[in-house]
């Protein structure tokens, strides 16, 4: 029998939502994800099917709830410790905190990652959940995630995180040397990509301003066209009630 993980929000909580998340992660550590039914989760969590429906529409939504739990664990501490570091080091520390937060769920995550490889549709849905989490990881590291450049950063970080977790799952060393090396490589790769995006955005900025001005001019012309008198109206009738 696989030992159930303990966490800040786990087992002792009386919150049905937390119990459901705990139950799914415990079951995922024991069997194939496809074999876990919602009724299994309810039985493990000791909640009714009606309670489950109140909180989650599906198993995938429970995984998104788990991701939010990990987000909270990362965001709840350590901000002052890294506030004076360079952005790259801040993000490194934030992602290491995230690895610490998911460590109690290693076996469950091993199966969930395997399931996502077997189910591309589910993988696509979960990717969006990862992007949402990475948005807050960038915020925690004090890195801008807004605009077109921000969207590219988020997508790149979400993909990098998946690769980091894949290495982490197979890293049996207590010091996580392989994982930290992979994290370092991914951040170096991301730095180069972001530098290119930022340069492109600076180059494109004048053209963007011209395009916006042209769009505004076109909108004003359309408004003037809509306000013009119709041919069947007398010149003095245009403003008549």
Determine the structural domain holding residue 116 and report its residue range.
Answer: 63-201
In a domain, 213, yes or no: no
162 contacts 130 by C-beta, under 8 angstroms:
yes
Specify burial of residue 215 (Cβ count, 10 A radius: 0-12, 13-18, 19+): exposed
Q: For residue 192, is it within any domain? A: yes
Q: Is the model's pLDDT at 85 over the cut of 90?
A: no
Neighbouring CB atoms inside 10 A of 177's CB total 10
Provide the CA 177 distance to its chain's centre, in angstroms.
25
- Comparing 9-23, 30-44, 60-74, the range with the smallest average pLDDT is 9-23
Examine the pLDDT at 11 and tell me if it is beyond 50.
Answer: no
Please give the torsion angle defined by the CA atoms of residues 177, 132, 74 and 180, in that order, rounded to the nearest 10 degrees. Answer: 10
Assess whether pLDDT exceeds 70 at residue 30: yes
User: Tell me: the pLDDT tens digits for 115-157?
Assistant: 999 999 999 999 999 999 999 999 999 988 888 778 888 999 9
As a whole number of Å, the end-to-end CA separation of the chain is 81
Report the domain count for the chain: 1
For 215-236, the pLDDT digits (tens) are 566 666 667 666 766 655 555 5
Domain membership flag for residue 19: no
**Furthest-apart CA pair in the chain: how many Å?**
88
Whether 58 is in a domain gets the answer no
- Asked whether residue 226 is domain-assigned, the answer is no
* Residue 44 placed within a domain: no
* Rounded-to-integer distance, Cα 119 and Cα 137, Å: 26
- The answer to whether the beta carbons of residues 126 and 62 sit under 8 Å apart is no
Answer whether residue 36 is part of any domain.
no
CA distance 82 to 94: 9
- Domain presence at residue 165: yes
pLDDT at 99: 96
Q: What is the pTM of this model?
A: 0.74
**148-189 residue pLDDT tens:** 778 888 999 999 999 999 999 999 898 999 999 999 999 988
Query: Which residues are CB-contacts of 39 (< 8 A; sequence separation ≥ 6)?
Result: 49
């Amino acid at each position: 029998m696989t030992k159930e993980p303990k966490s800040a929000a786990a087992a002792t909580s009386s919150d049905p939502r937390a119990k459901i998340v705990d139950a799914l992660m415990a079951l995922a550590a024991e069997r194939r994800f496809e074999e876990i039914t919602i009724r299994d989760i309810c039985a493990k969590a000791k909640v009714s099917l009606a309670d489950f429906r109140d909180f989650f529409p599906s198993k995938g939504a429970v995984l998104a709830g788990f991701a939010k739990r990990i987000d909270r664990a990362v965001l709840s501490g350590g901000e002052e410790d890294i506030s004076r570091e360079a952005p790259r080091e801040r993000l490194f520390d934030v992602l290491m905190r995230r690895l610490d937060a998911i460590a109690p769920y290693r076996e469950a995550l091993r199966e969930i990652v395997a399931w996502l490889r077997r189910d591309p549709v589910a993988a696509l849905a979960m990717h969006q959940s990862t992007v949402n989490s990475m948005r807050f990881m960038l915020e925690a590291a004090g890195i801008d995630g807004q605009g077109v450049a921000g969207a590219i950063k988020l997508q790149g970080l979400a993909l990098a995180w998946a690769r980091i977790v894949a290495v982490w799952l197979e890293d049996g060393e207590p010091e996580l040397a392989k994982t930290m090396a992979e994290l370092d490589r991914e951040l170096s790769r991301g730095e180069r990509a972001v530098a290119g995006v930022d340069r492109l955005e600076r180059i494109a900025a004048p053209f963007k301003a011209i395009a916006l001005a042209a769009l505004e001019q076109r909108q004003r012309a359309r408004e003037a066209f809509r306000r013009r008198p119709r041919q069947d109206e007398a010149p003095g009738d245009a403003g008549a009630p």
